[in-house]
Structure 1
């Protein structure tokens, strides 16, 4: 999900809800503690230099159970963050504390924001000798030809 898509979704909501990939709903008293610009500049295992830039949101919960972040307040936070994000419409990455800080993608289902699982991957599989994943082909139906049936 991009920042512009989140803004559009927030504008239509009366309350904000986030769910984890396992379906657990984040407590309603969560905070958005950070909105930032994160750039990763790296070399992959094939020697290719790469850059990735995302808008990073950090969600956090504390003991203030009466806290509720309204959609308009979240929009205000995003408005303030524009000077950091530089007006770029970036993909959003969300940090949330679990056993350690976990990173998630973000999707919206029309009602709730869904934290989506992120996976590591080799970006230079051809250089590392990793074979391409086999493509599953559908099962072919075998049609028997009867003598005089006109198919042979």
Structure 2
């Protein structure tokens, strides 16, 4: 999800609900404690220099059970963050405390904002000698499996 998409969604929803990948909702009294700009400048294992920039939201919960973040208040926080984020329509990543700080992507499903799993990956698989395990149609046919044959 991009900054423009969450702003549009916040203008349409009556409440701000975040849901974990497990389907469990964050407690309604969560806070957005940070909106930041994260620049990552790195070298992958194949020696390619790369850069990544995202908007980062940090979500946190305290014992103030009466707290509720209204959509308009969240929009106000995002407007304040323009000083840091600038005007680029960045992808959003979300941090949320679990056993350790979890990093998530973000999508909208109906009136909910859903935290999506993020995964590590090798960005230079060809340089690392990691085999490509994807099967092409000719490989399937050689193995005796053909389209419409009922084996797949």
- Taking the TM superposition and a 5 Å limit, the aligned residue runs for 1:16-55 are 16-55=16-55
Pairing 1:87–2:94 present: no
Shift of 1:141: 2.9
**Post-superposition shift, 1:139?**
4.5
Specify the alignment match of 2:72 in structure 1.
Answer: 72
TM-score normalised by the chain length of structure 2: 0.90
How far the C-alpha of 1:121 sits from its partner, in A, is 0.1
The gaps in structure 1 that reach 5 residues or longer are 143-152
TM-score (norm 1): 0.90
How much has 1:101 moved relative to structure 2?
A: 0.4
1:1-152 equivalent positions in 2, closer than 5 A: 1-135=1-135, 137=137, 139-141=146-148
How many residues are treated as equivalent by the alignment? 142
Once residues 26 and 62 of structure 2 are traced to their aligned partners in structure 1, the CA distance between those partners, rounded to angstroms, is: 12
Q: Whose radius of gyration is greater, 1 or 2?
A: 1
- Is the Cα–Cα contact under 8 Å of residues 9 and 110 in structure 1 kept in the other structure? no
Q: Residue in 1 aligned with 2:140?
A: none
- The match for 1:150 is none
How far does the alpha carbon of each residue in 1:54-98 deviate from its partner, in whole angstroms, 9 at most, with x for none? 000000000000000000000000000011001110000000000
Any stretches of 5+ residues in structure 2 without a counterpart? 138-144
| CA-atom RMSD in angstroms | 1.2
Q: CA deviation at 1:134?
A: 1.2
CA distance 1:28–1:47, change in 2 (3 Å): same
Counterpart CA distance in 2 for 1:26 and 1:136 is: 42
* Cα distance in structure 2, aligned partners of 1:76 and 1:119: 31
- Structure 1 residues 131 and 89 mapped into 2: Cα distance closer, same or farther (>3 Å)? same
Question: How far apart are the structure 2 equivalents of 1:52 and 1:104?
Answer: 15
Secondary structure of 1:77 counterpart = helix
Out of 133-142 and 42-51, give the one that drifted further.
133-142
